[in-house]
Amino acid sequence: MIRNIIAAVAVILAVWASVYMYSLDKEAHKFQRISELIKSTAMEDTKLTGVQTHPVTSAPKPKTESKSAAKEKENDELAQKLKALKEKAGNLAAFKTSPLYKKSCSSCHGNIGEGIIGPKLLGKSKEEILTALHDFKSGKRKNYVMYGLLGNMNDQQLDDLATEIATFQKKLDEATQSE
Ligand code: HEC
């Protein structure tokens, strides 16, 4: 009898362990895909930063050689958006963001929160942003990208980020006025 129980427990443990390993594997895969995504957008970012250094008037219309027309259109739209922002802001480089935002968020949300892969954050209040960050972190709002990113950030960092992002619109407005 005892033997049977031990055997049953062993089977349950074995099944649980393999399910657990499988989910770990899936999770690891997910993170790998996310970091690849971040890497690829980071490259896109430097390309666009290059465009920004050209004077607006002589900036060539960015022509990408990408095979897929959809991708090309996407790149074009993005470059146009950034160009428009640049004209409006005078100089995008004047936007100094914290190292944390630059490193962890700008690749998807843009240098000043204008939105790339991730939604536009410009114009959102600190409360809206902070609530979203806490909801992503707790899993109340389901998004693997944001969940994975915020997992090891503490409340202070979330607060700092929300405070900072909420100033982007004001910074943009001020830059426009000072032209
Ligand atoms: C890999 C791309 C990526 C990165 C990096 C990223 N985000 Fe996001 N973010 C997203 C996506 C995609 C969504 C939309 C998720 C949804 O609505 O479910 C999002 C949503 C958000 C939202 C909610 C916006 C809304 O309209 O409700 C906030 C706030 C946010 N991100 C802040 C941040 C901050 C702060 C960082 C840096 C710590 C960051 N994000 C990094 C992709 C990213």
CATH assignment at residue 160: 1.10.760.10
- Residue 119, domain member (yes or no): yes
pLDDT band at 22 (very low <50, low <70, confident <90, very high): low
Ranges of H-type helices in the chain: 2-52, 69-89, 99-104, 106-109, 126-138, 144-150, 155-165, 168-177
- pTM higher than 0.75 for the full model? no
Q: What is the mean pLDDT of the chain?
A: 77
CA distance 30 to 101: 22
Number of domains in the chain: 1
- Residue 73, domain member (yes or no): yes
CB-based pocket (< 6 A), ligand 1: 34, 37-38, 104-105, 107-109, 117-119, 121, 129, 132-133, 143, 145-146, 149, 161
Domain extent for 48: 28-177
Q: What's the CA-to-centroid distance between 131 and ligand 1, angstroms?
A: 12
- Residue 152, domain member (yes or no): yes
CA distance 175 to 179: 7
Residue of the CA atom closest to atom 18 of ligand 1: 143
User: Using one digit for the tens of pLDDT, what is the confidence trace for 87-105?
Assistant: 665 566 667 899 999 999 9
Give, in order, the Cα–Cα distances in Å from 170 to each of 112, 128, 155, 176.
11, 16, 24, 10
- Residue 19, domain member (yes or no): no
